[in-house]
Amino acid sequence: MSEIKKCPVMHGALTKASQTPTAWWPNSLNLDILHQHDVKTNPLPEFDYKKEVKKLNFSSLKKDLLKLMIDSKDWWPADLGTYSGLFVRMAWHSAGTYRIADGRGGSGTGNHRFSPLDSWPDNTNLDKARRLLWPIKKKYGNKLSWADLMILAGNMAYEHAGLKTYGFSFGRVDIWHPEKDVYWGSEKNWLEDKRYSDKKDRTSLENPLAAVVMGLIYVNPQGVDGKPDPLKTAHDVRETFRRMAMNDVETCALTVGGHSIGRAHGNGDAAKLGREPAAAEIHEQGFGWNQKNGLGKYQVTSGLEGAWTTNPDKWNYEYLDLLLNYEWESKKSPAGAYQWEPIGLEEHKKPRDLENPKIRHNPMMTDADMAMKIDPEYRKITEKFYKNPKYLDEQFSKAWFKLTHRDLGPRTNYIGPWVPKETLIWQDPVPAHKKKYNVDKVKKLIAASGLSISELVSTAWDSARTYRRTDKRGGSNGARIRLAPQKDWEANEPTRLKKVLKVLESIAKKSGASIADIIVLGGVVGLEKAIKKAGSKVKVPFTAGRGDATQEHTDIESFKVLEPLHDAFRNYVKREYSVMPEELMLDNASLKGLSAKEMTCLVGGMRVLGANYDGTEYGVFTDKVGALTNDFFVNLTDMKYKWEPSGKNSYNIIERKTNKTKFKATRVDLVFGSNSVLRAYAEVYAQDDNKEKFVKDFVTVWTKIMNAGFVSVH
């Protein structure tokens, strides 16, 4: 071409943040969090993985993985002839992002393949581990998800090293797009720390975060703020692992067992590492951190250099011997990272050089390892492990199983021949309810009980709303709303709840139904009354079979994190937060797996049903409270009203003609009129020809909430 023509593509229009509406108007509510993982991103939209994975040749898969452990590649050689340490690290870092505050992170979706996780500094060179697994993924295809494969590879790595693992479950379903709804911290730079309100108070780590620094899975291996101090690091380790639902014994077992095989790499200049995968050049094909001669003993990963044990390719108890029976001093690796090395260690106890087995080097420990020796409580546990190695095997194998399966949800989600028979308390067990009962007769008993529509609907909602899709915890199954800690949560209105439960428990006893079913069925009865009151005949579906959990099998500490501190659907906020109520609503809706349309429909319906917390009038835009009408949307969009602030989070809706206040509202009510997308949905439901559509849509999304975490596993 003799002349360069003007390119017909709008450069950057699809990629630059400066071109997005949220950049033009930063205070505009961004609804993207509700539309992650749309079906359009899924190349297998009709594929049922949980059904197809059961057809795997499990024994063949296991053999292939064990063979892979010693199949060293020129492009990424195995340490001492085994990839076991690399695959353990991959599985650990895949699962280790889980946090109990919101159930996000973890290994359940295969999100380790996507940014930002694929490019975190703490995940350096794990892109090679995933690429080593590709031939196995290619062979078994759709029947084996990446999420399952990455964790199973870690399990097989331990078995290859000599440990009998506790078990494994298949069933993790891959996502096909980065999880942009996960908040990893506000920092803009890797290894930056802006997540403590008080740096001296290490418990002031910002919720829901668990890691201490942007781009790290847990704590800084060199010490707090990169300075060696095992006692300070012990505080960070304890807080971080507590936020992953791990106690001291589990934390100590994971540290000891996790570092009993494998090694760290820092035998070079970290400054020579190439860019991370997300920033690498196109010809690097998804590989990151590339450097010349960066293979074998010259890898730079964490920057620390050396093995923790004499024989890092074998499961044994050398770690405890070295940690407890020798003095250690702080030194620097060739890459300049702080690490600990033993004083006066015998030559035969030193691990071999990666290339020349005749040469031996000192082992090393991180600051977190030294915390297991210096911290008084951790020291007691490590000494117990040292004296009783079988106790370590037991505690580590169970802790590893918990780490890698925490976000799979109840045991009913588990699949495959290696699922342990034992049910563990962190799996939130619910016994099956086997008694049959007549649903129609029970509905009549509830209808005649004297409980109001508001009481029935609110109680059913409160029981079910704890479910979160992230780790599949909570929900209506188990009726834990009647147990501690849920029965005393402010958001559940304990006085009202006690009254309603007394009536419903009596009906359950009389009918033979589970209390969990009765609570949900109560919501059905209340909703059908409201539908009839609105002049409609839409029926509300009901699925029976929920069981009743016991207090004994309810981990109170673990369930505390499910407490609703805000619930836009019942117009409840426990206190003021640094973010706006409408933003809290989006996060809540996202955890429930709701779309923007479903969220809109639910809020409008809950308001007219009179289901607000403590009976507050805010957002109840109707004169027919208790009837499932579209009045919320009709009055929200009616220009005969004007809207004026009356407080920080309160507004008056005033008749223009009389200048009198007709309704009151909060920000989460008015956002459905102010946000252009939400208003578009609100206008659909306000139309005269969509009254019946609103009722049907509300029933559909209501049923989705009531069945969440229950129907999917039954």
CB atoms within 10 A of CB 631: 21
CB atoms within 10 A of CB 360: 17
414: Cβ–Cβ under 8 A, 6 or more apart, which residues?
A: 169, 170, 171, 405, 408
CB atoms within 10 A of CB 527: 26
Which of 11, 35, 93, 265 is flagged as catalytic? Answer: 93
CA dihedral 379, 382, 388, 394 (to 10 degrees): 130
| Residue 93: active-site member | yes
Sign of CA dihedral 601, 602, 608, 612: negative
Token code pair at residue 261: 């095989």
Report the distance separating Cα 478 and Cα 472, nearest Å.
Answer: 13
Report the distance separating Cα 1 and Cα 621, nearest Å.
Answer: 66
CB atoms within 10 A of CB 645: 11
The number of CA neighbours under 13 Å toward the Cβ of 152 is 29
Assess contact for 566 and 587: CB atoms under 8 A: no
Report the distance separating Cα 213 and Cα 240, nearest Å.
Answer: 11
* Location of structure tokens 């964790």: 151
Assess contact for 323 and 373: CB atoms under 8 A: yes
Give me the residues paired with residue 328 across strands.
342
Report the distance separating Cα 234 and Cα 279, nearest Å.
Answer: 34
Strand 661-665 to 650-655 pairing: antiparallel
Report which of 97, 109, 93, 104 is spatially closest to residue 172, judged by C-alpha positions. 109
Assess contact for 229 and 200: CB atoms under 8 A: no
Assess contact for 319 and 256: CB atoms under 8 A: yes
Report the distance separating Cα 316 and Cα 26, nearest Å.
Answer: 55
Residue 131 amino acid letter: R
Assess contact for 237 and 219: CB atoms under 8 A: yes
Residues annotated as catalytic (active site), given as ranges = 93
